[in-house]
């Protein structure tokens, strides 16, 4: 009699298991919470905190690791993608907030902005050191998302 498929894979003495749907759910919730907190900090202090990506990456990566327990590189890729998606709304809001003046409040600018042009501007005005910080954040999310399997 063959045992039923349990989702566990044994390779070279390592037992790898995981729950990818739960990792996606945990990662999405963590990404939403982290993005909202990062947006709040950006609004309160009035400028974009680029190093927030490192905090977001750790938060999202750990949520994926704890939720999914996966040892596949797919879990790391999920963490990096979700972290990258967190950066865009915060950068857009910071750019819009920096354009506010006494005559034009945040809502007025938000309703009249050309988002395609704004994203192009954000990408061209980001400095090379900040791309390095984003790269470190994505690598951090990748590494934190992968559960280290145990020998059994």
Q: pLDDT digit string (tens) for 43-77?
A: 888 888 889 999 999 999 999 999 998 888 999 99
Measured CA to CA, the distance from residue 23 to residue 45 in angstroms comes to: 32
DSSP string of 1-64?
-PPPP-S-EEETTEEE---HHHHHHHHHHHHHHHHHHHHHHHHHHTS--TTHHHHHHHHHHHHH
CB atoms within 10 A of CB 86: 27
| Residue 41 belongs to a domain | yes
Q: What pLDDT, in 10s, does the model give residues 100-139?
A: 777 877 778 878 888 888 888 888 888 899 999 999 999 9
Q: 118 is in which domain, residue-wise?
A: 19-145
Question: Residue 128 gets which letter from DSSP?
Answer: H
pTM for this model (two decimals): 0.79
| Residue 150 belongs to a domain | no
| Residue 7 belongs to a domain | no
| Residue 12 belongs to a domain | no
Number of domains in the chain: 1
| Residue 126 belongs to a domain | yes
| Residue 13 belongs to a domain | no
Which residues are registered as beta bridge partners of 15? Answer: 10
Token readout for 62 is: 């750990």
pLDDT band at 12 (very low <50, low <70, confident <90, very high): very low
Question: Residue 99 gets which letter from DSSP?
Answer: T
CB atoms within 10 A of CB 99: 14
């Amino acid at each position: 009699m063959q045992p039923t498929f349990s989702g566990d894979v044994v390779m070279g003495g390592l037992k790898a298991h995981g729950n990818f749907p739960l990792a996606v759910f945990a990662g999405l919730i963590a990404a939403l919470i982290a993005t909202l907190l990062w947006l709040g900090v950006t609004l309160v202090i009035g400028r974009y905190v680029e190093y927030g990506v490192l905090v977001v990456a750790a938060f999202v990566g750990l949520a994926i690791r704890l939720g999914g327990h996966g040892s596949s590189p797919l879990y790391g890729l999920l963490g990096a993608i979700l972290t990258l998606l967190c950066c865009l709304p915060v950068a857009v809001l910071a750019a819009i907030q920096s354009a506010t003046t006494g005559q034009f409040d945040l809502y007025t600018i938000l309703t009249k902005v050309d988002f395609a042009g704004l994203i192009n501007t954000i990408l061209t005005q980001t400095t090379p050191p900040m791309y390095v910080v984003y790269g470190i954040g994505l690598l951090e999310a990748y590494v934190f998302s992968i559960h280290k399997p145990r020998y059994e």
